[in-house]
Structures are given as C-alpha cells and as structure tokens.
Amino acid sequence: RITDEELETLNGYLLEIGQHIANNDMNKIVAVDTAFHDVLYTASRNERLRSIINNLREQMTTIRGRSMSYPGRLVETMDEHRILVEAIAAHDVERAQYAARIHLENAEHTLMRSLSEHMPKKA
C-alpha cells in the first residue's frame, strides 16, 4: 500500500536520524523517529490504527526516548528500520511483518532492561 513518495520520505528520515545520532541530539532523534513511524502508520491505510496511535502518542514518545537512550539501541534501531523499509519497498509482506515484530520485541526488551536497571534494589 505504500507509495513511492512515502518510501522516499522514510529513507530521508533514516538519513536524518543518522545525522542526529552523529550530533548526539536525542530530542531530534525521537522527533524524527516519531515522524518515521507516522509515515508507516499512514502507509498502512488503517484509520483505526492511526486513531489508536494518536491517542497514545505522548506515552509512545516517552517510551521511544527511553528505549533509544539505552546504550547501543540507536544503532540497532537504525538497522531494524532499514530492514523494515527494504521489506516494505520490496512489497514483501511476510518479511515486513517479521521485521516489524523483531523491532517491537527488541524495543520492548530494551525498555524492560532500562526500567529494571533503574528500579531500587530490594534489601
């Protein structure tokens, strides 16, 4: 369902995120990452999904920032995004679904590690 223009936008965002990583500008990284995901949601042509995401936007932005701040996660995120965009560009539904699932699982695991490291230790 994705258009050539949307694919071009995704690839542009990947380049932009790379520049912000080089400058270590986490606020811009999170902002562009949010825009990247918005293009994916729009390209799904699923209005229900977009509505749900819009309702959760603030919470998701906080989670993204926390997850991507974890050491090494930015590089992993960029690799996962590239793989996802390549699968979408190839119109390979199964590979795109797999790439999205791996990305979400890795983000979840990173977030859980980050949260557990910041919890007070039990006596």
Instruction: Determine the Cα–Cα distance for residues 36 and 17; give it in Å rounded to an integer.
Output: 9
Residue 41 pLDDT level (bands cut at 50, 70, 90): very high
**Total structural domains in the chain?**
1
Q: What is the pLDDT of residues 12-33, one digit of tens each?
A: 999 999 999 989 899 899 899 9
Q: Is residue 122 part of a domain?
A: no
Could you tell me if residue 113 is inside a domain?
yes
Roughly how many angstroms between the first and final C-alpha of the chain, as a whole number?
54
Q: Does residue 44 sit within a domain?
A: yes
**Global confidence as pTM:** 0.77
What is the Cβ-side half-sphere exposure of residue 15, based on CA atoms within 13 angstroms? 6
Task: Provide the domain limits for residue 41.
Answer: 4-117
Look at residue 123 and tell me if it is in a domain: no
Domain of 18, CATH number, reads: 1.20.120.530
- More reliable by pLDDT, 117 or 91: 91
